[in-house]
Amino acid sequence: MQIRRIMTEDVEVIQPDTLISDAAKIMRDLNVGVLPVTDGKALTGILTDRDIVVRSIAGGKNPDQARAGSIISENVAWCYENDEVATVSAKMKNNRIRRLPGVNKDNELVGIVSLGDLAVEGDEGMAGETLGEVSRPNRPER
């Protein structure tokens, strides 16, 4: 099955010049922990709630003045909308990420797939295996 059949479409996006505080409010209002960052249609990065805490607040940036582009995660892993679910699951495991943007053949953002999408709409066993790998601590002694 192709990932486009289970990914969330019509994803809210922000621009690099969005204030960090505005991005945080969007996350709160939508009850999400990630916002794709685009320069129109092309994906340029991802902003996570963790980025806001670690790179902005703990980094001493004022979220009412600093722009999202200054703290986004760039070089984002992504998938094509016609990739198979198993391929996307493997990419999530290998990169240890919980959410993966999906793009079309023109590299325009068309959706995002999460572990929840894999569990609810995909193969539960594959979702559990992916979650186990993504959740494995970076430091085994923990």
CATH of residue 48: 3.10.580.10
The domain tally of the chain equals 1
Identify which of 71, 28, 19 has the alpha carbon closest to the alpha carbon of residue 50.
71
- The mean per-residue pLDDT over the stretch 75-101 comes to 92
Beta bridge partners of 8: 112
pLDDT for 75 equals 87
More confident residue, 94 or 128: 94
Residue 140 counted as domain residue: no
| Contact criterion met (CB below 8 Å) for 57 and 69 | no
Please say if the pLDDT value at position 127 is more than 70. Answer: no
pTM of the model: 0.81
Non-local (6+) Cβ contacts of 107 within 8 A are 42, 43
pLDDT for 118 equals 82
Identify which of 61, 128, 37 has the alpha carbon closest to the alpha carbon of residue 89.
128
* CA torsion angle 28 14 72 139 (round to 10): 40
Q: Which range of residues forms the domain containing residue 68? A: 3-135
pLDDT for 123 equals 57
Per-residue pLDDT reduced to its tens digit, 2-36:
999 999 998 999 999 999 999 999 999 999 999 99
Residue 141 counted as domain residue: no
